[in-house]
Amino acid sequence: MARAQRKLSVWDAGEETAGQGFARDHLMMALAARDGVALARLWRRSEEGLSLGRFHRRRPGDARLARRLSGGRVVAVGPGIQCLNLVFPSVDWLEAASAGLRPLQPSQVLNRALRPLLSLLRACGADVIYPGRDLVTLGGCPLAHAAFTVAPDGVCLVEAQLGVEVSLSRTPALLAEYDPQGVAGVDTGSLANAVALSASLRRSPRRGAWGELLSGHFGAEFDCSVRVAGAELDHSAGAAGVEFDHSAGAAGVEALAASSPAPSTPSDPAGREQAPGRPAHNRGDAPVVGTAGVFRPCPEAFSSFQESLGPLPPGRVLSAAPGMLGLIECSADLREGRIHDLRVSGDFIAPFHTIEALRQGCEGLLYDMPTVRRVLARVMIGRRNFVLGAPDLDGLIASMA
């Protein structure tokens, strides 16, 4: 039986603020879950700033430091840096040859998602390589950064930042200026040797042409039909207080607040029917923000999201160590030998619900290595739970002092 034609819409949003991007990401995730389509959004910042990963501590009140939904490193954004956000109904959508039949591993997601961008850059004459992890390189130097997250309903968001006229090497200088106290707790030398695409090409794609140029590569690499969207999506996301009607495919605001279960036999976004009685969203895993369709992405929600992980409070125990992408920190309150309010922060990629499940699982337990390992093992066997870039997370948690 022939597989139905998959669809992807490309949206060039032009310049946007962090708040607009927050609302648009949720619109795209809601549409992907409801309609089973993929969406791509191209955007730029009009002013220079830093994009923080979902798990970085942030100095409060500074709009130049904007938290995104995915994890990964702190990275520069602004004029000369082209950003691309991709949303898929599930990670399995990315496996064009057998979508929904051969689940991708988390470590394979960026490999698949970045293929259209790599194809376009190579067609332009740039000998780019994706060596793995979270960077695209040109001549052995970072050209682009990418990260992703997966919501409890399976929707996947990929975020990429590409140095076109300006390289990502601006990141360390901006960190020194915007975060002089080092609240974010990251490796400040990260991306220092990044290069810009314009330095390697006689002619880079002009601003506004990226969506049109990428469309053919999306179709070829993802084996899907592609259409260029515009005003209709922009109009839908224009109001930051828009409420998404997501009742057809995921729990809505009212259902979440009332702890109402989803329909008894839902299908996940890849099309596989779940066991009867299993909700489409596991409410215990669902964060207050960061999941498609479970809240209004209004200015208050955006502000709460930005302030969700702040400076390290006094009196907490802390451990820090280099991970595969950068620095990782663990902190907690230890009272009478028990763990309280465990926080994991820094340069790694994971769904928010995975880190929240780890925090909840450790709450009030005895602080020792066997206990931490048991909790981490229990969390990691959960559906759609993973952590990339932190291979010794249990040891890091157990070494807090």
Q: What is the pLDDT of residues 352-394, one digit of tens each?
A: 999 999 999 999 999 999 999 999 999 999 888 999 999 999 9
Judged by DSSP in three states, 91 sits in helix
- Paired tokens of 131: 């060596």
- Provide the mean pLDDT of the chain: 82
d(CA 3, CA 393): 40
pLDDT in tens, 111-152: 999 999 999 999 999 999 999 999 999 999 999 999 999 999
| Protein fold of 6-235 | BirA Bifunctional Protein; domain 2 (3.30.930)
pLDDT in tens, 24-61: 999 999 999 989 999 999 999 999 999 999 999 999 98
| Domain definitions of the chain by residue range | 6-235, 317-398
| Protein fold of 317-398 | Enolase-like; domain 1 (3.30.390)
Task: Identify the residue whose tokens are 């992703």.
Answer: 148
d(CA 100, CA 78): 37
pLDDT in tens, 203-248: 777 777 898 899 999 999 999 999 988 655 655 544 333 344 332 2
pLDDT of residue 229: 82
> Which residue, 134, 182, 118, 158, is CA-closest to 348?
134
The most confident of the ranges 87-96, 104-113, 248-257, 294-303 is: 104-113
- β-pair partners for 8: 38, 226
d(CA 357, CA 336): 22
pLDDT of residue 185: 85
- Paired tokens of 33: 């879950």
Confidence of residue 101 (pLDDT cuts 50, 70, 90): low
> Which residue, 106, 225, 212, 187, is CA-closest to 154?
106
pLDDT of residue 292: 40
Q: Which residue has the higher pLDDT, 293 or 228?
A: 228
Q: What is the mean pLDDT of residues 8-31?
A: 93
3-state helix, strand, coil in the chain (%, to 5): 30, 25, 45
Task: Identify the helix (H) or strand (E) that includes residue 382.
Answer: none
Number of Cβ within a 10 Å radius of residue 125: 12
pLDDT of residue 382: 85
> Which residue, 364, 371, 359, is CA-closest to 336?
364
d(CA 43, CA 17): 9
pLDDT of residue 209: 83
pLDDT in tens, 310-356: 999 899 999 999 999 999 999 999 999 999 999 999 999 999 999 99
Q: Which residue has the higher pLDDT, 11 or 100?
A: 11
Q: Which amino acid is at 106?
A: P
pLDDT of residue 52: 97
Region at 305 (left for phi over 0; alpha for psi -120 to 50; beta for the rest): alpha
Q: Which of 40-49, 166-175, 186-195, 241-250 has the lowest mean pLDDT?
A: 241-250
d(CA 185, CA 187): 7
Percent of the chain whose pLDDT exceeds 70 = 80
